[in-house]
Amino acid sequence: MKVGIGQINPTIGDFSGNVERLIDAYRKCVEAGADLVITPELAIPGYPPRDMVYRSGFVKGNLKALQDLAQETKGVPLIAGFVDFSKEKAGAPFVNAAAVLQNGKVQHVVLKCLLPTYDVFDEARYFQPGCEVEPIEIAGKKIGITICEDIWSEDYLPSKLYVKNPPKALVEKGAEIILNLSASPYHQGKPMVREEMMDSLCRDLGVPIVYANAIGGNDQLVFDGHSAVIGKDGKVLHRLAGFEEAVAVVDLDGAANEVEDWPVPMEEVSGALVLGVRDYMRKCGFKKAVIGLSGGIDSALVAAIAAQAIGPENVLGVTMPSQFSSEGSVDDSVALAEHLGIECQQIPIKKVFEALKSEMRPVFGDREEDVTEENMQARIRGLMLMSISNKMGNLLLTTGNKSELAVGYCTIYGDMCGGLAVISDLPKTTVFELCRWLNRDGEVIPWNTINKPPSAELRPDQKDQDSLPEYEILDGILEGYVEMQLSVAEIVAEGYEEEVVKWVARAVDINEWKRFQAAPGIRVSSKAFGMGRRYPIAQRYS
């Protein structure tokens, strides 16, 4: 049997555009000899639609698109995901469904059984789970159709979440092949874990799995693709590319193709960030970006990612030196712009800063200058960048990293201004690692930017490490506290100084209000700030 996979990039709510992508993938697979074609989870409405499903006409619109898509099918079945109304009298109002389309009609409908409600997932809020599974005969084979979470075994989930095992039940009822429509979001290491899980499942069940994953960026989530066909012996017969649309037709009875090695971690992270920026801008209607260039490593990395995502001709860098800025910061910003081929404008803020201090003197009185004046500089820069964004229609990309955002080493309404926080899920140590990887074949980011001590340059001779622990220490503690959710005592037991751990933990907790107002960030870790981490702001637990 030859199975076609359409690894497409849907946009939430773009029913006609998504149907066009599905039709294109379907036709290519049919021309290549596919006996059936499988596409990603909720490919018609886009995933995750979240509360859009409650909007008047949304579900009906996706059902109309399903019928339009069915009209394009001939003898070869197409399996596509959609949202339907639940037929149950109680429970959630909708179902996450897959339809088998053939000869202009919806021949079968299958419901998702296991609804993830953890981390970034909240499907039980919207969907009623399917109760029963039955194989469907297609092209002379008994096919078990599953949707994303349905194939995830307990060994690979955060905890024992489910009592059902849909793939096992389907095989017990005679299924010879398991198909899985998926929209599995990316984080570091996830593609390999996902494939390892399917390898194990195939060996346990003794049947092959055909897995179709979405690609694309939808707000904070990036979907990496890496769709695959796994033989019943657990060997990978074929794997599609990551972070790009692709189609493939695989003979389940044929020999395995030569599968490329997984990319190195930084190549994978770079691919996710570039796709996340490109899709966020494209799907929100932006063509150009503006970035504040400080001469530091964070803004340099964001500029490099943006230039790759949307083209250097669409990126404007702005350097805004003050009396505290080193000459090297401006020079490094100009050198970066030359390396990337982006435009660079210079707007000094010294006169504006001095004028603002003068105007505030009657209110401030004889109080000494402190962090207030540092934040004023950041907010002047934020005002200038947002003004450029408003006037020119460019999306302002913020440049803060995860380490800074975690402990509040950032200025609300200052350097936090913007529409997308590109590297807000990258710890500072990973920022350095990724920049060095980008320079692997030649200088992209000036080496001086990478090698000099990080500094906000908001007061004379300022260095980040004047206010923060060494980044290697800070990031190690943050990994334990934020991603692994360990207690202070557990982190101290790992060998960190107790007072440092307590300071970091308190800084994370008291800065929740800043992150609540931050621009959405692209998720690349297993626990990012944003939709997958929900903490109250007003609380007294410590």
- Cα-Cα-Cα-Cα dihedral of 529, 123, 219, 404, to 10°? 0
148 is catalytic: yes
**What's the rounded Cα separation, in Å, for the pair 278 and 395?**
12
Residues in the chain: 542
The Cα-based distances of 298 to 72, 356, 403 in angstroms read: 48, 27, 11
Place of tokens 């692709």: 246
- The amino acid occupying position 92 is A
Q: Which of 29, 113, 123, 148 does the annotation list as catalytic? A: 148
Cβ within 8 Å of residue 369, ≥6 positions away? none
User: Strand pairing partners for 397?
Assistant: 420
CB of 194 closer than 8 Å to CB of 167 = no
Strands 246-251 and 2-7: antiparallel
User: Strand pairing partners for 277?
Assistant: none
What DSSP string runs through 95-163? EEEEEEEETTEEEEEEE------STT--GGGTBPPP-----EEETTEEEEEEEGGGG--GGGSSS---S
Cite the beta strand spans of 323-455 per DSSP E: 343-346, 395-398, 420-421
**What's the rounded Cα separation, in Å, for the pair 512 and 537?**
6
- Which tokens in the block code for residue 242? 């990551």
**What's the rounded Cα separation, in Å, for the pair 458 and 18?**
48
What DSSP string runs through 346-364? E---HHHHHHHHHHHHHHH
Q: Which of 2, 29, 112, 176 does the annotation list as catalytic? A: 112
Place of tokens 């007072």: 499
Order of all β-strands in the sheet with 315-319: 343-346, 315-319, 289-292, 395-398, 420-421
Place of tokens 């302002």: 396
The Cα-based distances of 464 to 95, 453, 458, 461 in angstroms read: 50, 8, 11, 10
**What's the rounded Cα separation, in Å, for the pair 395 and 519?**
12
The residue among 166, 46, 61, 136 whose CA lies nearest residue 96 is: 46
Q: Which of 41, 123, 176, 404 does the annotation list as catalytic? A: 41
Reduced to 3 states (helix: H, G, I; strand: E, B; else coil), residue 227 is coil
**What's the rounded Cα separation, in Å, for the pair 164 and 91?**
18
Supply the DSSP symbol for 14: -
The residue among 51, 57, 54, 63 whose CA lies nearest residue 97 is: 63
CB of 421 closer than 8 Å to CB of 398 = yes
Query: What residues are labeled active site?
Result: 41, 112, 148
